[in-house]
Protein backbone atom coordinates (compact mmCIF):
# COMPACT_ATOMS: atom_id res chain seq x y z
CA UNK A 1 0.00 0.00 0.00
CA UNK A 2 1.38 3.40 -1.02
CA UNK A 3 1.51 6.24 1.46
CA UNK A 4 2.73 9.86 1.57
CA UNK A 5 3.78 11.28 -1.80
CA UNK A 6 4.26 7.86 -3.44
CA UNK A 7 1.01 7.91 -5.46
CA UNK A 8 1.93 11.26 -7.00
CA UNK A 9 5.44 10.05 -7.74
CA UNK A 10 4.08 6.90 -9.37
CA UNK A 11 1.68 8.88 -11.54
CA UNK A 12 4.46 11.19 -12.71
CA UNK A 13 6.63 8.19 -13.55
CA UNK A 14 3.90 6.81 -15.82
CA UNK A 15 3.83 10.03 -17.86
CA UNK A 16 6.37 10.60 -20.60
CA UNK A 17 8.65 13.61 -20.36
CA UNK A 18 6.89 15.07 -23.40
CA UNK A 19 3.52 14.81 -21.64
CA UNK A 20 4.91 16.40 -18.49
CA UNK A 21 6.45 19.24 -20.52
CA UNK A 22 3.15 19.84 -22.35
CA UNK A 23 1.18 19.96 -19.10
CA UNK A 24 3.69 22.30 -17.47
CA UNK A 25 3.59 24.56 -20.55
CA UNK A 26 -0.21 24.74 -20.30
CA UNK A 27 0.03 25.58 -16.60
CA UNK A 28 2.55 28.34 -17.24
CA UNK A 29 0.45 29.80 -20.06
CA UNK A 30 -2.62 29.85 -17.81
CA UNK A 31 -0.63 31.40 -14.96
CA UNK A 32 0.73 34.12 -17.22
CA UNK A 33 -2.78 35.05 -18.29
CA UNK A 34 -3.84 35.21 -14.64
CA UNK A 35 -0.84 37.34 -13.70
CA UNK A 36 -1.61 39.66 -16.62
CA UNK A 37 -5.26 40.07 -15.80
CA UNK A 38 -5.37 39.98 -12.02
CA UNK A 39 -1.81 40.36 -10.79
CA UNK A 40 0.41 37.94 -8.92
CA UNK A 41 -1.07 38.60 -5.48
CA UNK A 42 -4.67 37.93 -6.50
CA UNK A 43 -3.91 34.76 -8.44
CA UNK A 44 -4.34 31.44 -6.60
CA UNK A 45 -3.19 27.92 -7.37
CA UNK A 46 -6.81 26.80 -7.41
CA UNK A 47 -7.65 29.34 -10.15
CA UNK A 48 -4.68 28.29 -12.26
CA UNK A 49 -5.70 24.66 -11.84
CA UNK A 50 -9.27 25.45 -12.89
CA UNK A 51 -8.01 27.21 -16.03
CA UNK A 52 -6.21 24.04 -17.15
CA UNK A 53 -9.08 21.75 -16.12
CA UNK A 54 -7.30 19.98 -13.29
CA UNK A 55 -7.63 19.84 -9.52
CA UNK A 56 -5.42 21.96 -7.29
CA UNK A 57 -3.97 18.74 -5.84
CA UNK A 58 -3.01 17.64 -9.33
CA UNK A 59 -1.37 20.99 -10.02
CA UNK A 60 0.95 20.50 -7.07
CA UNK A 61 2.36 17.44 -8.81
CA UNK A 62 4.05 19.77 -11.30
CA UNK A 63 4.83 22.86 -9.21
CA UNK A 64 5.39 23.11 -5.48
CA UNK A 65 3.74 26.51 -5.16
CA UNK A 66 2.76 29.71 -6.95
CA UNK A 67 6.23 31.17 -6.43
CA UNK A 68 7.76 28.32 -8.43
CA UNK A 69 5.30 28.97 -11.25
CA UNK A 70 6.13 32.70 -11.18
CA UNK A 71 9.85 31.94 -11.23
CA UNK A 72 9.49 29.70 -14.27
CA UNK A 73 7.33 32.29 -16.07
CA UNK A 74 9.97 34.91 -15.35
CA UNK A 75 12.73 32.58 -16.49
CA UNK A 76 10.96 32.07 -19.82
CA UNK A 77 10.62 35.83 -20.34
CA UNK A 78 14.30 36.31 -19.51
CA UNK A 79 15.27 33.54 -21.92
CA UNK A 80 13.28 35.20 -24.73
CA UNK A 81 15.03 38.51 -24.10
CA UNK A 82 18.45 36.84 -23.85
CA UNK A 83 17.89 35.24 -27.25
CA UNK A 84 17.09 38.66 -28.76
CA UNK A 85 20.15 40.23 -27.13
CA UNK A 86 22.39 37.37 -28.28
CA UNK A 87 21.28 38.14 -31.83
CA UNK A 88 22.34 41.77 -31.35
CA UNK A 89 25.76 40.64 -30.12
CA UNK A 90 26.19 38.47 -33.24
CA UNK A 91 24.70 40.80 -35.86
CA UNK A 92 27.13 41.36 -38.73
CA UNK A 93 28.24 44.69 -40.17
CA UNK A 94 27.90 46.70 -36.94
CA UNK A 95 30.69 48.45 -35.11
CA UNK A 96 30.77 48.27 -31.33
CA UNK A 97 29.24 51.74 -30.91
CA UNK A 98 26.23 50.80 -33.05
CA UNK A 99 25.98 47.42 -31.34
CA UNK A 100 25.98 48.86 -27.80
CA UNK A 101 23.28 51.38 -28.73
CA UNK A 102 21.16 48.63 -30.29
CA UNK A 103 21.73 46.33 -27.32
CA UNK A 104 20.46 48.84 -24.75
CA UNK A 105 17.57 49.93 -26.99
CA UNK A 106 16.48 46.31 -27.56
CA UNK A 107 16.45 45.54 -23.84
CA UNK A 108 14.71 48.82 -23.01
CA UNK A 109 11.93 48.33 -25.58
CA UNK A 110 11.39 44.75 -24.42
CA UNK A 111 10.94 45.77 -20.77
CA UNK A 112 8.93 48.88 -21.60
CA UNK A 113 6.46 47.04 -23.83
CA UNK A 114 6.15 44.18 -21.35
CA UNK A 115 5.58 46.61 -18.47
CA UNK A 116 2.78 48.41 -20.30
CA UNK A 117 1.30 45.16 -21.63
CA UNK A 118 1.29 43.76 -18.09
CA UNK A 119 0.63 46.70 -15.73
CA UNK A 120 0.81 44.46 -12.65
CA UNK A 121 4.20 43.11 -13.64
CA UNK A 122 5.89 44.92 -10.75
CA UNK A 123 4.16 42.53 -8.31
CA UNK A 124 5.79 39.58 -10.03
CA UNK A 125 9.19 41.29 -10.20
CA UNK A 126 9.09 42.16 -6.51
CA UNK A 127 8.26 38.56 -5.64
CA UNK A 128 11.02 37.11 -7.80
CA UNK A 129 13.58 39.61 -6.51
CA UNK A 130 12.73 38.74 -2.90
CA UNK A 131 12.37 34.97 -3.21
CA UNK A 132 14.63 34.04 -6.14
CA UNK A 133 17.63 36.40 -6.02
CA UNK A 134 19.79 33.83 -7.81
CA UNK A 135 17.55 34.11 -10.87
CA UNK A 136 18.19 37.86 -10.99
CA UNK A 137 21.90 37.34 -10.31
CA UNK A 138 22.18 34.87 -13.21
CA UNK A 139 20.35 37.29 -15.51
CA UNK A 140 22.72 40.13 -14.61
CA UNK A 141 25.76 37.92 -15.17
CA UNK A 142 24.44 36.89 -18.57
CA UNK A 143 23.88 40.54 -19.54
CA UNK A 144 27.38 41.48 -18.41
CA UNK A 145 28.87 38.71 -20.55
CA UNK A 146 26.93 39.98 -23.56
CA UNK A 147 28.09 43.55 -22.97
CA UNK A 148 31.66 42.31 -22.44
CA UNK A 149 31.53 40.68 -25.90
CA UNK A 150 30.52 44.03 -27.42
CA UNK A 151 33.26 45.90 -25.57
CA UNK A 152 35.87 43.31 -26.58
CA UNK A 153 34.86 43.80 -30.19
CA UNK A 154 35.48 47.51 -29.74
CA UNK A 155 38.91 46.82 -28.28
CA UNK A 156 39.82 44.35 -31.04
CA UNK A 157 38.77 46.82 -33.73
CA UNK A 158 40.64 49.71 -32.12
CA UNK A 159 37.46 51.59 -31.31
CA UNK A 160 37.61 51.34 -27.51
CA UNK A 161 40.50 51.56 -25.08
CA UNK A 162 39.68 49.37 -22.07
CA UNK A 163 42.08 47.84 -19.57
CA UNK A 164 39.59 45.48 -17.90
CA UNK A 165 36.70 44.48 -20.17
CA UNK A 166 34.88 42.45 -17.53
CA UNK A 167 34.88 45.27 -14.96
CA UNK A 168 33.85 47.80 -17.61
CA UNK A 169 30.99 45.56 -18.77
CA UNK A 170 29.72 45.37 -15.19
CA UNK A 171 29.85 49.16 -14.93
CA UNK A 172 27.99 49.62 -18.24
CA UNK A 173 25.31 47.15 -17.11
CA UNK A 174 24.77 49.05 -13.88
CA UNK A 175 24.82 52.44 -15.62
CA UNK A 176 22.00 51.34 -17.95
CA UNK A 177 19.99 49.42 -15.32
CA UNK A 178 17.33 52.15 -15.12
CA UNK A 179 16.15 51.18 -18.60
CA UNK A 180 14.92 47.85 -17.23
CA UNK A 181 13.40 49.29 -14.06
CA UNK A 182 9.57 49.38 -13.91
CA UNK A 183 9.51 52.53 -11.74
CA UNK A 184 11.04 54.70 -14.46
CA UNK A 185 8.84 53.17 -17.15
CA UNK A 186 5.81 54.50 -15.33
CA UNK A 187 7.21 58.04 -15.42
CA UNK A 188 8.44 58.49 -18.98
CA UNK A 189 6.93 57.93 -22.42
CA UNK A 190 8.65 55.48 -24.75
CA UNK A 191 10.00 58.40 -26.79
CA UNK A 192 11.49 60.07 -23.70
CA UNK A 193 12.93 56.78 -22.49
CA UNK A 194 14.54 56.04 -25.86
CA UNK A 195 16.13 59.50 -25.98
CA UNK A 196 17.48 59.05 -22.46
CA UNK A 197 18.93 55.67 -23.39
CA UNK A 198 20.65 57.11 -26.46
CA UNK A 199 22.17 59.91 -24.39
CA UNK A 200 23.38 57.63 -21.61
CA UNK A 201 24.98 55.16 -24.03
CA UNK A 202 26.59 58.02 -25.97
CA UNK A 203 28.15 59.29 -22.74
CA UNK A 204 29.41 55.79 -21.91
CA UNK A 205 30.90 55.37 -25.38
CA UNK A 206 32.72 58.70 -25.14
CA UNK A 207 34.39 57.43 -21.99
CA UNK A 208 35.37 54.15 -23.63
CA UNK A 209 36.50 55.53 -26.96
CA UNK A 210 40.16 55.19 -27.82
CA UNK A 211 41.95 58.51 -27.75
CA UNK A 212 44.30 59.37 -30.59
CA UNK A 213 47.77 60.57 -29.72
CATH of 6-63, one of 1.10.10.60, 3.30.450.20, 3.40.50.510, 1.10.3720.10: 1.10.10.60
> What percent of the chain stands above pLDDT 90?
56
* Rounded mean pLDDT, 27-32: 92
Indicate whether 76 pLDDT > 60.
yes
Question: DSSP letters of the chain?
Answer: ---TTHHHHHHHHHS-HHHHHHHHHHHHHHHHHHHHHH-STT--HHHHHHHTT--HHHHTTT-SSHHHHHHHHHHHHHHHHHHHHHHHHH-SS--HHHHHHHHHHHHHHHHHHHHHHSTTHHHHHHHHHHH-HHHHHHHHHHHHHHHHHHHHHHHHTTSB--S-HHHHHHHHHHHTGGGG-HHHHTTS-HHHHHHHHHHHHHHHHHHHBPPP-
CATH code, 69-208: 1.10.357.10
> What pTM was computed for the model?
0.81
Domain residue spans of the chain: 6-63, 69-208
Q: What is the pLDDT of residues 157-204, one digit of tens each?
A: 999 999 999 999 999 999 999 998 877 888 888 999 999 999 999 999
Amino acid sequence: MMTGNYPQLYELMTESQQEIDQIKAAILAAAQERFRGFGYGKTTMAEIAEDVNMSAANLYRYFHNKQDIAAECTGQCMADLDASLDKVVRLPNLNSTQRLHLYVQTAMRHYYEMMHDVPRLHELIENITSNYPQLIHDKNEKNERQIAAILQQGVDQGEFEIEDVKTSASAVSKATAMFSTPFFMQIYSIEEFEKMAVNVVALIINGLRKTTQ
